Amino acid sequence: MEQEVRGICPACGEETDWLYKTENIPYFSDILIITCSCSVCGYRFSDVQNISTNEPVRYTFHACSEQDLSVRVVRSTAGHVHIPELGVEISPGPACEGFISNVEGVLFRVDKVLDGILIDGDDEQRRKALALKEKIADIQNGKDSITLIIEDPYGNSLIDSERAKKESYSPDPD
């Protein structure tokens, strides 16, 4: 199902189109994708919501080749992403957006945050950001590997690979 609805842009208050689309991800579940792109101010919003709830889940995937960068990643708004080799954690919060991407897309998101640190960070932060950007480039070129971990207390995130380890876990009560 796909439905386009006129609504208000939360950034500028002008009318804009909101697209609501349901999609089935095989071996996973039905999801609702919500997108908005305001032609007036350029505001963009996207979210992925699972239509059902599941048991808490943890996926662990070791990306060790360029082909692994194409593995599909679904992160719900409750999903917590860890990349231990990079010291990266992406936690849910009030402005959190879900996404459907792939391993390379997750790295791209991290790289964009590092770009901001290069602009606004102090010398030590910039040095660390440059080192992480080099490591990301090595991963993208197949010279290094990472472990991608997603934990979701509602079971609505996914790493779509036969090599991804799926296990249940008990989320922290915090």
Domain ranges of the chain: 1-52, 53-174
Give dist(CA 2, CA 44) in Å, integer: 19
Is the pTM above the cut of 0.95? no
CATH architecture type of domain 53-174: Sandwich (2.60)
The answer for residues whose C-beta is within 8 angstroms of residue 129's C-beta and 6 or more apart is: 114, 117, 118, 121
Protein fold of 1-52: N-terminal domain of TfIIb (2.20.25)
Of 29 and 137, which is predicted with more confidence? 137
Tokens of residue 130, six digits: 């440059």
pLDDT confidence of residue 107: 97
Asked if residue 28 has pLDDT above 70, the reply is no
pLDDT confidence of residue 140: 93
**Fold agreement (1-52, 53-174):** no
Residue 33: strand pairing partners: 21, 48
> Taking phi first (over 0 means left), then psi (-120 to 50 degrees means alpha), and beta for anything else, what does residue 155 get?
left
